[in-house]
């Protein structure tokens, strides 16, 4: 007697987890099965023997095969959770990372005016700008990106979340209208162009324009730190993300440019990941 392959959630998840070669195979499999079936991840634990339909199992298998080939889960789902928001993502932008939520938290802790004017440089999906706008309805938040698809995606995310972020096409400051900001935030590309990390994991599928920045990874950070003072109010803040081994050179860039109160900050994993400085206060 031949029996049908088991289509229980648990059997599908166990089988898929064994094939997915990521850091989090079980989580990846659960996210994909949840996406296909509409069932919550907790329900897989509460009711492991629940069966899915054959067509759901087939659709799940197609996603698992792509995940096994390396495609990031966020691209397969078309969305990524960031802060309290569900953001649409596409292969034209970086997938928002949990580490960058630290940057949001740091920005929210700064002593800023009630109606602060804030700029997110290189916004990608709009993640940082939208998270800030969601916490501070009184802030005037502008986001820019040099890539058309990113501008469109950030606008789409702002519209579907109902958040009043103004998204502008601009390569860094070059196409912005003259304005002064109380806070400029950025998660720019900062990986050195020969870094072996670029050949591993999700970053292989993400756009190089969002990741790579010259030989030492600091080309874009140099430009941002150099030009930011022209766009900051007296006492305004610049807050950037960078690689965990770039804290020293980035702090030096800030100090050389004349920023005061320069501070290195850590991400949730305790790695040196952000630098903050204040313009024109000593």
- Contacting residues toward ligand GLN, per CB under 6 A: 94, 97, 187, 189-191, 203, 211
The residue whose two tokens read 């969305």 is 79
Count CB neighbours of 99 within 10 A: 17
Which residues make beta-bridge pairs with 169? 145
145 appears as a binding residue in the annotation: yes
Minimum CB distance to ligand GLN, residue 89 (Å): 14
Torsion angle defined by CA atoms of residues 84, 85, 90 and 92, in that order, rounded to the nearest 10 degrees = -80
Calpha distance 200→198 (Å, rounded):
6
Calpha distance 132→139 (Å, rounded):
8
Buried-state track 101-139, b at ≥16 Cβ within 10 A, e below 16: bbbbebbeebebeeebbbbbbbbbbbbbbbbbbbebeeb
Structural element, H or E, at residue 167:
strand 165-169
Q: Which is nearer to ligand GLN, 60 or 207 (CB)?
A: 207
268 appears as a binding residue in the annotation: no
Minimum CB distance to ligand GLN, residue 53 (Å): 37
Strands 140-145 and 117-121: parallel
Minimum CB distance to ligand GLN, residue 182 (Å): 23
Minimum CB distance to ligand GLN, residue 250 (Å): 13
Which residues make beta-bridge pairs with 278? 237, 260
Q: Which is nearer to ligand GLN, 56 or 213 (CB)?
A: 213
Q: Which is nearer to ligand GLN, 201 or 229 (CB)?
A: 201
270 appears as a binding residue in the annotation: no
Contact criterion met (CB below 8 Å) for 196 and 228: no
207 appears as a binding residue in the annotation: no
The residue whose two tokens read 């939520």 is 101
Minimum CB distance to ligand GLN, residue 187 (Å): 5
269 appears as a binding residue in the annotation: no
Q: Which is nearer to ligand GLN, 23 or 234 (CB)?
A: 23
261 appears as a binding residue in the annotation: no
Contact criterion met (CB below 8 Å) for 103 and 239: yes
Q: Which is nearer to ligand GLN, 189 or 277 (CB)?
A: 189
Q: Which is nearer to ligand GLN, 117 or 187 (CB)?
A: 187
Minimum CB distance to ligand GLN, residue 221 (Å): 10
122 appears as a binding residue in the annotation: yes
243 appears as a binding residue in the annotation: no
Which residues make beta-bridge pairs with 238? 184, 277
Binding residues for substrate, by number, are 187-190
Binding residues for S-adenosyl-L-methionine, by number, are 122-126, 145, 172, 187
Binding residues, by number, are 122-126, 145, 172, 187-190
């Amino acid at each position: 007697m031949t029996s049908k392959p088991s289509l229980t959630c648990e059997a599908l998840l166990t089988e898929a987890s064994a094939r997915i070669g990521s850091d989090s195979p079980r989580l990846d499999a659960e996210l994909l099965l949840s996406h296909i079936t509409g069932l919550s991840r907790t329900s897989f634990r509460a009711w492991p023997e629940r069966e899915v339909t054959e067509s759901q199992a087939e659709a799940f298998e197609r996603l698992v095969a792509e995940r096994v080939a390396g495609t990031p889960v966020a691209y397969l789902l078309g969305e990524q959770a960031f802060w309290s928001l569900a953001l649409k993502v596409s292969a034209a932008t970086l997938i928002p990372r949990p580490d960058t939520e630290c940057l949001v938290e740091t920005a929210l802790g700064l002593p800023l005016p009630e109606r602060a004017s804030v700029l997110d440089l290189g916004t990608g999906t709009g993640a940082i700008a939208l998270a800030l706008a969601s916490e501070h309805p009184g802030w005037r938040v502008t986001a820019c990106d040099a890539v058309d698809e990113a501008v469109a995606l950030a606008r789409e995310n702002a519209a579907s979340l109902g958040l009043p972020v103004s998204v502008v096409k601009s390569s860094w400051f070059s196409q912005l209208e003259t304005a002064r900001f109380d806070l400029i935030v950025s998660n720019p590309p900062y990986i050195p162009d020969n870094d072996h990390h670029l050949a591993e994991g999700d970053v292989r599928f993400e756009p190089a324009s969002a990741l790579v920045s010259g030989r030492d990874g600091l080309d874009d950070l140099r430009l941002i730190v150099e030009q930011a003072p022209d766009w900051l109010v007296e006492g305004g803040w610049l807050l950037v993300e960078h690689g965990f081994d770039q804290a020293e050179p980035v702090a030096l860039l800030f100090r050389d440019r004349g920023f005061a109160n320069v501070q290195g900050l850590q991400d949730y994993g305790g790695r040196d990941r952000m630098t903050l400085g204040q313009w024109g206060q000593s």
